[in-house]
Structure 1
Amino acid sequence: MNSHTRRAILASFPGIALAGCTGLSESGTSSEGESPSESRTTTENESLSESGTTTENELPEGCPTSLDLDVRWPRELDADTVGEFVTAYEEAYLLREYRGRTSQSRFHSADFSPYINEDPTQVDTGYEVTVILEGYSERPTMFLKAYEVDSEGIPKAEDHNIKESRLPKDSEYVSIEEVEDQRLRETLESAAESGTAKSDFIYDGAEIERYAEQIANLSSAVSLIGDNGGNELAYFDVNGTGVLLEIDIALVHGDIGGEYRYYVTEYVVWRAESTSAEDTTTPEDGELLECRLPE
């Protein structure tokens, strides 16, 4: 499925519907005590409605009724609708998980391309669908490094690699008294005492964004770093000692791929990661993502 088609699918599903689940217990067994894989006897020609109905009392305990993924869950499932639903659902689910882990900020990006390479299989009251995932993510890293400078604003440390042509043309020095952030103050003060200082690497996108904006607000020599990161320099006055601060933000690219197995009915969505072609994992061995009540 190409990117245009994938986006079209997302656009065609304006909202997620709330409803309930199949007759699975919290342990993943049916009301007759059989596991989902053991109880599946539906043939390709048997309609889903003939396999039984679901009541609200049969909902798994604690099953979420909405993940707010903005993907419409079709009431009438067939091989076409369930395939489109699962590919759109997988992309929206991964974007939600990714943003939750990295904090929302402009210093990260991700793109996922889920697709199915074989027809969904009708089993019991629903369908099993295997999704192949390809994509990438870019996550930010940041460090702060400070150097004591001479009267001309050049770092005194012999091992620095900052070219004089990159030094701020505006020689205004920001007073340390204007710096409220503890990590930034400690880095500047340590450089004033020992000649150089460097902070630990920072990986949280929201925190990196805060530092980029804070330093830009403190010094007119620092522009807001672009979405792709960058390297900026600014001068500070640390109780009479000149210090040059370097803020460096880089984006680390990583490829993403995998295979995931879904089991979708009119009432429930299960998802599990597949580790290999020989993996016998079923979707019900994974996570029960969402349920909706019967109408």
Structure 2
Amino acid sequence: MDSHTRRAILASFSGIALAGCTGLSESGTTTENGSLGESGTTSEDELPEGCPTSLDLDVRWPRELDADTVGEFVTAYEEAYFLRRLRGSDSKSRFYSVGVSAYINEEPTQVDTGYEVTVIFEGYAEEPSMFFMAYEVDSEGIPKAEDHNIKESRLPKDSEYVSIEEVEDQRLREILESAAESGTAKSDFIYDGAEIEQYAELIANLSSAASLIDDNGGNELAYFDVNGTGVLLEIDIGIVHSDAGGEARYYVTEYVVRRAESTSAEDATSPEDRELLECRLPE
């Protein structure tokens, strides 16, 4: 028995399905917004175009709806939906964190065989950014540039210089060589979490003076020997915090889940105009 068959059998006993799975229907014709009509028959042709469809958010979708069950469903669904939106390609990076919450703003209202539900969603994301700064240094390891802002107390106590021959990364080599030639060099900002992790580990592995930067960000310094010229490299990882939130209006029936964001009363749309997120076929 495959996993889909097993889920369908379990759902038939529990009376609850995961959002996106096929659901049981009552006798009746479904209309474009997913409610039942009056013809006394069930027709897949009456469901919205593109049905079945699912975002696979793994949220339990009640078959028998009332104000309580639909409210709980929409709250859980919106949190899963908004969490996916906030997460990007950096979601697996240790420098990336995200949090969401949702709550019902008004008592769900029954419309036809479905419910209108207004939900407030809030969340935050903390995303990393990184850049390199490199300085030519004198015999004592102090940057020659007059406008540098590195205090002597921050300079590595271990004055071991890593040979540029040990540096295989092309971007890092170019920054070090540019600083050795012109006195200073700065990289572009890097925002990819996986790439930032790789550079943090690379610098910590290359130089015994540098530690691995923790999840909260920070900076480290290391000395390099660029063909006889001393260069001090600074790696700086910062964490940018951003907040997001708003209001969403759901229309939920046994067959469809529709959603629209709204910022004012004028943004309220009829059910069939809202984005179709879930649709399951009658049996």
TM-score calculated relative to the size of structure 2 = 0.83
**8 Å CA contact retained: 1:120, 1:127:** yes
* Matching residue within 55, 78, 83 for 2:71: 83
Q: How far, CA to CA, are the matches of 1:51 and 1:140 in structure 2?
A: 57
- Structure 1 segments of 4 or more deviating over 6 A? 48-53
How far is 1:51 from its partner?
9.0
Correspondence for 1:262: 250
Number of residues of Structure 1 aligned to a counterpart in Structure 2: 265
Q: How does 1:155-194 map to 2 (within 5 A)?
A: 155-194=143-182
Q: How does 1:214-253 map to 2 (within 5 A)?
A: 214-253=202-241
> Which amino acid letter does the alignment assign opposite residue 168 of structure 1?
P
Work out the percentage of aligned pairs sharing the same amino acid. 81
Q: Which runs of 5+ in 1 are unaligned?
A: 1-12, 23-29, 41-47
Q: How far, CA to CA, are the matches of 1:283 and 1:207 in structure 2?
A: 43
**8 Å CA contact retained: 2:59, 2:77:** yes
Correspondence for 1:18: 21
Q: Given the superposition, is the C-alpha separation of residues 105 and 286 from structure 1 closer, same or farther in structure 2, using an over 3 Å criterion?
A: farther
Q: How far, CA to CA, are the matches of 1:283 and 1:222 in structure 2?
A: 58
**8 Å CA contact retained: 2:59, 2:76:** yes
Q: 2:92 matched to 1:104?
A: yes
Which one is further off, 59-68 or 217-226? 59-68
**8 Å CA contact retained: 1:133, 1:259:** yes
Q: How far, CA to CA, are the matches of 2:23 and 2:50 in structure 1?
A: 11
Offset from partner CA, 1:216-275 (integer Å, 9 cap, x none)? 222222222111111111111212211111111111112212011111111221111102
Q: How far, CA to CA, are the matches of 2:51 and 2:192 in structure 1?
A: 31
Correspondence for 2:10: none
How far is 1:205 from its partner?
1.8
Q: How does 1:270-285 map to 2 (within 5 A)?
A: 270-282=258-270, 284-285=272-273
Correspondence for 1:287: 275
**What value does the CA root-mean-square deviation take over the aligned residues?**
2.9
Offset from partner CA, 1:68-99 (integer Å, 9 cap, x none)? 32321122111111111111111111212222
TM-score calculated relative to the size of structure 1 = 0.79
Q: How does 1:53-68 map to 2 (within 5 A)?
A: 54-63=42-51, 65-68=53-56
Q: How far, CA to CA, are the matches of 1:14 and 1:102 in structure 2?
A: 31
Q: How far, CA to CA, are the matches of 2:190 and 2:86 in structure 1?
A: 18
Q: How far, CA to CA, are the matches of 2:271 and 2:225 in structure 1?
A: 60
How far is 1:110 from its partner?
1.6
How far is 1:293 from its partner?
2.9
* Matching residue within 140, 143, 146 for 2:128: 140
* Matching residue within 117, 124, 133 for 2:105: 117
How far is 1:101 from its partner?
5.1
